[in-house]
Amino acid sequence: MKMFNKILATISMLVLTTNIAFSAEKWDMALAYGASNFHSANATEFAKNVSEKSGGKLTIVTHPGGSLFKGGEIFRAVRTGQAQIGERFMSALGKEDPLLEVDSQPFLATSYSDAMKLYKASKPEIVKGLDAKGLVFLYAVPWPAQGLYSKKEISSVADLKGLKFRAYNSATIRIAELTGMAPTKIEAAEISQAFSTGAVESMITSPTTGKNSKIWENGVKYFYDIAAWFPKNMVIVNKDAWNKLDADTQKLVMKEAVLAERKGWALSKKGNVADKKALANAGMVVGKVNSSLQSHFEKVGETMAKEWSQKAGSRGATVLSSYK
């Protein structure tokens, strides 16, 4: 009888150990930007909090700086399950879903309050679209307001003609086309090299990206604070990986995602002020464009908004109606 009880206890222990092993999940989180970038730092804290609070059920390991997959590869990697979780610049995915480009329509939202309003209006359709692709949406955080960088001074529409321009999505390519600039698609990690080699001489991006890449070291002297839009990064999870989690762990992940989103927006607002100051302190000329240029950019924005709404169809119309 004693021998039978020992065998039973051993079997029970093996079953318990096996269940624990099967219930423990490890996710690799692909991040395109360097570890010091506020998006990556925020994602790393999110991963740490989930790992610590899940009681060993889920461990998330972050891979910043494109070390697991480069920016342009992350969406596909998460969708196919090569990475369980990842962060991607949303508007670079316009070919996947036009709704993901809504936050990069020029001058549609030019303040953080408007950017949040647009996010709330578009989120239900975005989540629905991602779900259909086998992805779970966790959270999204905006970059600081997008400004115009240039190696040379821009004081008229004529100064834009033929300017070699760094583009990173279809919206920035279209801006270049409508203003007479010459676009070249370049990921954030390649910005410094592109400017130093003369491949580009201007771009529209956040003060954070300019500061992080020390853009002034590559001959870029001007930053025009046009606050064109507030594009976001989103964090997504492969649905098969998500479904392996129990209900409590899923609830924990979503709770931490809400906190990460809130903190990310606060960090973005902080960077919108501090990073422009950093550009000025590095010797760059930081200011506004004149009224004629501002008017020109706004007309370009109106044209692009019409084009986007046609491409986005009834879903886009619903979002814009809710936003306005």
User: In the chain, how many domains are there?
Assistant: 2
Sign of the C-alpha dihedral computed for residues 240, 245, 247 and 251 taken in this order: negative
Residues 156-191: tens digit of each pLDDT: 999 999 999 999 888 899 999 999 999 999 988 899
Instruction: For residue 98, give the nearest of 322, 303, 305 by alpha carbon.
Output: 305
Strand partners for 285: 222
* Concatenated DSSP letters of 164-193: EEEE-SHHHHHHHHHHT-EEEE--GGGHHH
Q: Domain check: are 319 and 193 in the same one?
A: yes
Q: Domain check: are 53 and 70 in the same one?
A: yes
CATH number at residue 57: 3.40.190.170
Mean pLDDT of the region 231-236 = 98
Angle CA 22–28–29, to nearest 5: 140
Q: Domain check: are 27 and 154 in the same one?
A: no
Q: Domain check: are 269 and 167 in the same one?
A: no
Query: Could you say which of 258, 274, 290 is where a domain stops?
Result: 274
Q: Domain check: are 256 and 282 in the same one?
A: no
Q: What is the pTM of this model?
A: 0.86
Q: Domain check: are 190 and 86 in the same one?
A: no
Q: Domain check: are 126 and 14 in the same one?
A: yes
Output the pLDDT for position 223: 98
Residues 282-300: tens digit of each pLDDT: 999 999 999 999 999 999 9
Distance in angstroms (rounded) separating the CA atoms of residues 209 and 67: 19
Domain range for residue 219? Answer: 147-229+276-323
Mean pLDDT of the region 118-132 = 97
Residues 16-73: tens digit of each pLDDT: 444 444 469 999 999 999 999 999 999 999 999 999 999 999 999 999 999 999 999 9
Instruction: Provide the pLDDT confidence category of residue 225 given band limits of 50, 70 and 90.
Output: very high
14 pLDDT more than 80: no
